[in-house]
Amino acid sequence: MDLSIVISLYNEEESLRELVAWIDRALAPHDYEYEIIMVDDGSRDRSWEVISELSEKYPQIRAIGFRRNYGKSAALYCGFEAAKGDIVVTMDADLQDSPEEIPEMMRMIREEGYDLVSGWKKKRYDNVATKNLPSKLYNATARKVTGIKLHDMNCGLKAYRNEVVKNIEVYGEMHRFIPYLAKQAGFDKIGEKEVHHQKRKYGKSKFGLDRFIHGFLDLLSIWFLQKFGKKPMHLFGGIGTLTFLVGAVIAIWLIVDKLVSQAHGAYFRPVADQPLFYLALVAVILGAQLFLTGFLGELIARNATDRNRYNIKRTIR
C-alpha cells in the first residue's frame, strides 16, 4: 500500500464528509493505493455515525473509536499502529489542512530521501494574540532546545516513512514533538514544506492557551528523558557530587579557620554562629540526596524492559 492517512478527530461531525470528499478529489489523479484511518477520540456528537456512513461509500476508510477522550497523542499512537502504507500522513479533521499538499510531501520522501516532512503554515488565519504570537514563541523555544530547524513543529500535517511511526512511541501530549522523537530514534533527515492554511469552517478549536504552557513543560520533559532517561546518574550524580563537595569544603574551611585562629590566640567566631556553616550543611545534605536520586534512577533504568532496545538501520548476513 502506498499511503495511510491518519486523522484524529473530536466532535467534527460537520467537517467529515467534506474532508473525505476533498481527500478523494486530491488523490484521484495520482492512482495511489491508500487508506484513511479515522480515530474518533471519544466524540460526543455524531462523528462516529458519520464515519460509519462514509465507510460504506469509501471502502478505503478504516476507523477506531475510543470510549472516552484520551487526547491527540493516544489517537495518533493507535493510528500509527494500524497504518499499513509505505508513507503515513497525519492531518487534522477541521478542514484547515489541505489534502492537496500530500502528493508533494510524498514525493519529497520518495525522491529526496526525507524520513519526515513537516508542514509549515507560514500564513495563518488564526487569532494573532491567542495563537500566532504564542506559536512563534513556542516554536522558537522548540528549535533552540531540540536543534531541529522547523518553523512549525506542531503542524498537524506531516508525512513519514512507515518505519518512522513504527519506531516511536507517542504518549501523553508528545504529539507536539514527533519530529524530536523521530530524531532521537535515528531518523534525522527531517524536511519542511510550506503548506496552505485554511480558516476554520465549523465549530471551534479544541485547544486553548494552556496548550503552550503544557507544551513548554512537555518539551522540558522529553528533552530530559531523551538525554538522561537511561543515564540519570550523569545528571543527578554529577550535580549532587559537586554540591556535596562545595558544602564539605566550605564547612571544613570554617572549622579549620576557627581552630587556627584559636591556636594563635586570635579572635574567632564560633562556627555554629556563622550562617555560612548552615548553608554548607544544607549543600552537603542536598548533594547526598541528589546523588542517591541518581543512584535510584540508575537502578530503575537498568531494570527497564527497553534498556537494550535499539533501532537497527541495516545488517549484513
End-to-end alpha carbon distance in the chain: 28
Instruction: Return the closest-CA partner of residue 32 out of 98, 90, 93, 88.
Output: 88
Grid cell, residue 77, equals 499512537
The pTM of the full predicted model, rounded to 2 decimals, is: 0.75
Higher pLDDT, 124 or 114: 114
Residues 6+ apart with CB under 8 A from 92: 7, 8, 9, 156, 157
Predicted pLDDT of residue 190: 95
Per-residue pLDDT reduced to its tens digit, 61-113: 999 999 999 999 999 999 999 999 999 999 999 999 999 999 999 999 999 99
Instruction: Return the closest-CA partner of residue 235 out of 298, 155, 141, 303.
Output: 298
Residue 270's CB is within 10 A of a number of other CB atoms, namely: 9
pLDDT at position 258 over 80: yes
pLDDT at position 226 over 80: no
HEC states along 61-91? EEEEECCCCCCHHHHHHHHHHHCCCCEEEEE
* H or E segment to which residue 246 belongs: helix 238-263
Predicted pLDDT of residue 236: 87
* H or E segment to which residue 8 belongs: strand 3-9
Predicted pLDDT of residue 127: 56
Residues, the chain, total? 317
How far is residue 270's CA from residue 255's CA, in Å, rounded to a whole number? 9
Which residues share a beta bridge with 88?
4, 160
Per-residue pLDDT reduced to its tens digit, 5-49: 999 999 999 999 999 999 999 999 999 999 999 999 999 999 999
Higher pLDDT, 124 or 9: 9
- Give me the long-range contacts of 23-30 (CB less than 8 A, separation at least 24): 23/99, 24/58, 25/99, 26/98, 26/99, 26/100, 26/102, 26/103, 27/3, 27/99, 27/102, 27/103, 30/103
In 3-state terms, what secondary structure has residue 114?
coil
pLDDT at position 206 over 60: no
Mean pLDDT of the chain: 86
In 3-state terms, what secondary structure has residue 121?
coil
Percentage of the chain beyond pLDDT 70 is 88
Per-residue pLDDT reduced to its tens digit, 155-187: 899 999 999 999 998 887 788 889 988 998 899
pLDDT band of 212, cuts 50, 70, 90: low
Predicted pLDDT of residue 174: 82
Predicted pLDDT of residue 175: 87
Give the largest Cα separation in the chain, rounded. Answer: 99
